[in-house]
Structure 1
Amino acid sequence: MSAQPRPFEEPVYVTRPIIPDLAAFTRHLEAIWDCAILSNGGPQHIELERRLHDHLGDGHIALFNNGTNALMTAVKALDLTGEVITTPFTFAATPHVLSWHGIEPVFVDIEAHSMTLDPTRIEAAITERTSAILGVHVYGNPCDVDAIEQIARRHNLRVLYDGAHAFGTKVRGRPIASFGDATMFSFHATKLFHTAEGGAIVTEDPALRRRMDLLKNFGITDEVTVQAVGINSKMNELQAALGLCLVDAVRPERERRFALAEVYADRLRDLPGFHVPETPDLQADSLQYYCLRIDRDVSPVSRDALYEALKRFNIFARRYFYPLCSDYVPYAARPSSRRENLPVANRVADQVLCLPYYGALGRDGAERICDTISAIVRDRV
């Protein structure tokens, strides 16, 4: 038996936010202090919108205080009603934004490979109450945007994408936000690019952008006119300043993550029952998460057993997304949540394990994690 790997001295989590140089952040804070503008689309906000085009394309960008409010505002701006078809394999915010608007999320199964909405299952779920399709680019894997667009056109539906994981994702060289009516991006601290909390909606439609700008500021058009029922979901200047410090850090961080992906793939692909992602494309993939899939019928160690065993070595992987949203208390009783309707999603949810994946981990850290996984699988340590 090989020597047992030693635990990490400090906890190693699934991700770790990039932290800017404090002096650089302070310079932005000084500029904010000098002009005394803290919110309502100040200079930092304007500059961050401009800089983000390098990563999100030429669409119209609206910044928000978090991704959930961004998605809620897009749902309102698109006038969605009735039912919206979406995936159960996502973060809770995706169906929640629909429910908050009184819209029923209708869950449809996912593709086994991409883990995104299966277009072949969508049309059977469309009713006279369906107003839109809300797809999720899971782990940055793009939905089948062409098939979804064709379905939407046939049935006169809106298409909204949750691209929380998809910062930098492209399809055939096109930015992911150029598909559908609008795409949400999350800038939470767990994301590749972040503003501590924050988010954005990107759309090709300038009128939709103007409506979202109205709705995220209480529906106010001027100091005496409130034109619509809005909320307060504006990104403030401190968030935007942090983003400006980090926008140039995305490319080197992606390169470091690419190196980690190579280590994980080389070391783990031959373990029985382990399925590793395809080699990422630095020009097209978001590199947001590194997700293994472990087939419990083949692997000597189940996903859950590995998840628990890693904790003993101070390694905290995550089972994104387990359980499915369709199993949550608010949704479990709905007809579309029945397990027989979602066989692929239920199988995938029992297999996925996202490993620590951030540049500061380094190749040595990734090698240690692989040593630990190999020992758990080989020796049941």
Structure 2
Amino acid sequence: MGERRNWTYDSSTQQYYFHLFSPQQPDLNWENEELRKEIYKMMNFWLDKGISGFRLDVIDLIGKQPDQGITVNGPKLHEYLKEMNLATFGAKDCLTVGEAWSSSPELAKLYSSPNRQELSMVFGFWHLLTSAGNGNKWEKLPLDVSKLKEAMAAWQKLNPNEAWNSLFLGNHDLPRIVSFWGDEGENREKSAKAFAILFYLMRGTPFIYQGEELGMTNFPFENLSEIDDLESHEYFTDKKNEGKTEAEIIKKLREMSRDNARTPMQWTSEQKAGFTNGKPWLTINPNATEINANQALSDSDSIFYTYQKLIELRHKEDWLVEADFELIETTDKIFAYLRKTGTRSFLVLANLSKSPQHFQSSYVKKNEIISNDKFPNLLTDLEIKPWQAFALEIENVD
């Protein structure tokens, strides 16, 4: 029936209520048909206003049955999603994406296969969980490029007629990607561009989290008073009770707290980063004086313009939708793949490390697409610089 901390007593009803998260966030009882109808009524209200779709938070939890000890992927989960589809967005031209930490490529087919009439796609987290030691995000592991390749390839192998991919590097619950896997130092911009080029030329729909296009970083938290996130406060309390020092705990929160991604957007180098004249809910990251939208717009080689180019390519190039994905066998630190349509072939490659790496192939360069460094001329025997990434059209590969 869930942990004791998941139940809170309500004196007005003299009953306990269930909540997987905060006590201020009671879980809804999706087994109640009248409740589901009210949710669908609310969704239709917004659809009638002309919105383009929904992001459905932790959608894999709505089928929970606490009395049976089931919280994720409950037996009626997909029954509810089919009902929701038919009652709301199913007949409309809109996009739906469900957050599903438990999802796998096989489970994604249940959510987003076109003939199942559920969702457009889900957010799958396999790639990010490669850095979660024992499945626990607080036990952060260094970037393992081999495991990352394996995770991404598994999702890319999904047939579009079975399921559709979402592509993302961050969200409101995750550390900033340049802090999590990249280089916050001298290669901040280069590593941010490398991940963008690598991920957003795969098959799927890209989702860009605010600030990612600027290379925003984690916040240098010094004490708990700077953090608002409930999960972080619970982690702090639990670890203090286990005997950890405050310094040890804050160090971990600097790495993994969700508030790293929730600091205000950095628009300018001015006080409060041009975000507000009032008091923001979290302190502005002090590096906003150097990392901000104004600065990015003034630099033609900034991360922002790499993202702009990638978005332009996504709008113009059909191969980004249609081409198959083929992982290339390389050294551990290089992530390279082909996109192939049958008549055209494209090579995407990134060195996800701070050291030079070698790459050998028989590919022949045809056209340059995008890069965060100089494009190579020959592809036979290359030394790839730290965090270097590029995409090329090559002579067609069978």
User: Do both share a fold (TM > 0.5)?
Assistant: no
TM range (shorter): under 0.3
TM-score by length of 1: 0.24
Specify the structure having the higher radius of gyration (Cα): 2
Higher share in helix: 1
- Give the structure, 1 or 2, with the largest relative contact order (CA under 8 Å, sep 6 or more): 1
